[in-house]
Structure 1
Amino acid sequence: MCGRYASFRDAQDLSDDLALAEIAEDARLLPPSWNVAPTDPVRIVVERPRRLEGGSTGEITRTLQLARWGLVPSWAKDPSVGARMINARSETLLDKPAFAKPLAVRRCLLPADGYYEWRRLELPPDAPARAGSKAKVPKQPYWIHPDDGGLAALAGLYEFWRDRSKADDDPDRWLVSATVVTTAASPDLERIHDRMPVILPRGAWDAWLDPAVGAEQAMGLVTGPQVAMATRPVGDAVGSVQNNRPSLIEADPDPRDPDVVTAGGA
């Protein structure tokens, strides 16, 4: 799964890298984060028709928007379901109602600098058990990022949810939410975790965002080539959402993992 990632690039840098036509003001003002967690506000890149005066629509425009991490289907009774839908398994995208329609018409990119994953380690034979429970399994957090230092464009889906308790003229009546598409881990990363986010190469961005591209063709991008990633063991501080600072991605000087997983560069 993908449960934590980092997105700390300036909005203007993203604009240049992703060829954005517009940046929503709330997306521009979102501060950098080295510890993005479920239900946090996140930046998403979408392509939608430009809204014109009078309710008509214009040309397709690529924009940076703000969303909440955790997809809330349009038919959900309340937005709390989003906390359980931060990821969308690629194997079920075409089958699950919550994902099938967004896959066809509402795909997005979540710009990131990398993501975190925890590797389960062997339990020491002499590990003491806590009262009434088994011994806690040790884990080593890893910072996983593009080998070339470039942008990690996470494949995502987004959705609109209408809060029926709010008036038609209330600007907060609509919630935009998003989920990260995941897949089986690549051979060099499966020793850390069996799942990973789908990170699309630059050549796939346009097709993934293009609303004219159908679900079947989009699935070909999900199962196609991905970006080469590098790994680095990091400290336990990232495990708490209260911690959010650049040092979270620095190498752990004394990793507890006896067999540190290395992939790509440092």
Structure 2
Amino acid sequence: MCASYGLDPRFTDVELLAEADADILEGLRSWAQTNDGETLRPTGRNLRNLNPLIVPADDGPAALETAWWGFLVGGQPSKFPSINTRSERLQEQPGKMRGRAIVPTTGWFEMRKPERVWHEFRVDEGALFGMAAVTQRGRTPDGEWVTCYSIVMAPAPDHLVEIHDRMPVLIPPAMSADWLTGAPSRELIDEALIASADVAGRVSAAPRADER
């Protein structure tokens, strides 16, 4: 399960979009600076944080908006687990991929058991990269309609599995447009898993120096 991740404003190499939009990158850096390095966590009954999300745009390939992490049902956070979605489920039910997005991050966090030591997973050193997400609209307890997202998870590769057995599906720049706008199908999630496996080879993990 991916239940927290980071967005460091000092990100260097960009592994996010095929055509990195300057406005999107500046918006992400500005948001991250305002967030002051805080860990991004699911939105819920007590946390009302909205996190930056890359979504399809009506007038271009992509746009930046803030979104609710986890699904809302009937104006309340869902009673079923919804911050993550298994890639296997999307392979069996590709219709659940009607709405898709890319979650920008510089690293996600998992606890290694039984030591209970938190680890940060990164692509290269300080790169900004994207995690696959599925989306749907939801109404907040205050009555506002927002985009809700769930991070797509897949089995971890051999060099990471001893720390955690699952990892986010990573969307490289060459596949960003297809993931955001392609027709929902078994073929699309299969292609995303193949592309993610290529990026996963560059992922490294290290114990977190701090926990904020």
* TM-score over 0.5 for the pair: yes
Q: 2:162 aligns with which of 191, 198, 203?
A: 191
TM-score by length of 2: 0.78
Q: 1:232 aligns with which of 180, 202, 206?
A: 206
Query: Do the aligned residues in 1 keep the contact of 2:102 with 2:130 (CA within 8 Å)?
Result: yes
Once the two structures are overlaid, the 10-residue window that deviates more, 109-118 or 146-155, is 146-155
**Aligned equivalents of 1:163, 1:116: Cα separation in 2:** 27
Letter in 2 for 1:234: R
Alignment correspondent of 2:85: 88
**Aligned equivalents of 2:10, 2:61: Cα separation in 1:** 20
Cα distance change on mapping 1:41 and 1:82 into 2, 3 Å: farther
Query: Do the aligned residues in 2 keep the contact of 1:5 with 1:36 (CA within 8 Å)?
Result: yes
> How far did residue 47 of structure 1 move?
1.2
**Aligned equivalents of 2:124, 2:100: Cα separation in 1:** 25
Cα distance change on mapping 1:37 and 1:90 into 2, 3 Å: same
Task: Compare CA radii of gyration and give the structure with the larger one.
Answer: 1
> How far did residue 214 of structure 1 move?
2.8
> How far did residue 147 of structure 1 move?
2.5
How well do the aligned residues superpose, as a CA RMSD in angstroms? 3.2
Alignment correspondent of 1:44: 53
**Aligned equivalents of 1:163, 1:192: Cα separation in 2:** 35
- Runs of 5+ consecutive residues of structure 2 not aligned to the other structure: 44-48
Alignment of 1:36-185 (within 5 A): 36-39=40-43, 40-50=49-59, 60-72=60-72, 76-81=73-78, 84-95=81-92, 100-103=94-97, 105-121=98-114, 138-162=115-139, 166=143, 173-185=144-156
Letter in 1 for 2:168: P
Cα distance change on mapping 1:159 and 1:192 into 2, 3 Å: same
- Runs of 5+ consecutive residues of structure 1 not aligned to the other structure: 51-59, 122-137, 167-172, 244-266
Alignment of 1:211-226 (within 5 A): 211-226=181-196
Cα distance change on mapping 1:200 and 1:106 into 2, 3 Å: same
Query: Do the aligned residues in 2 keep the contact of 1:20 with 1:64 (CA within 8 Å)?
Result: no
**Aligned equivalents of 2:54, 2:140: Cα separation in 1:** 23
Q: Deviations over 1:120-178 (max 9, x none)?
A: 12xxxxxxxxxxxxxxxx41111110035422210111211246985xxxxxx312111
Q: Deviations over 1:67-95 (max 9, x none)?
A: 011123xxx22331178311011111255
Alignment correspondent of 1:264: none
Cα distance change on mapping 1:48 and 1:79 into 2, 3 Å: farther
Alignment correspondent of 1:19: 20
Letter in 2 for 1:89: R
> How far did residue 234 of structure 1 move?
2.0
SS in 1 for 2:161: coil
Cα distance change on mapping 1:162 and 1:139 into 2, 3 Å: closer
Letter in 1 for 2:41: A
Alignment of 1:200-219 (within 5 A): 200-209=171-180, 211-219=181-189
Percent identity reads: 24
Query: Do the aligned residues in 2 keep the contact of 1:208 with 1:221 (CA within 8 Å)?
Result: no
Q: Deviations over 1:185-229 (max 9, x none)?
A: 1111100011111112222212111x2433223212332132120
Query: Do the aligned residues in 1 keep the contact of 2:74 with 2:139 (CA within 8 Å)?
Result: no
**Aligned equivalents of 1:5, 1:82: Cα separation in 2:** 22
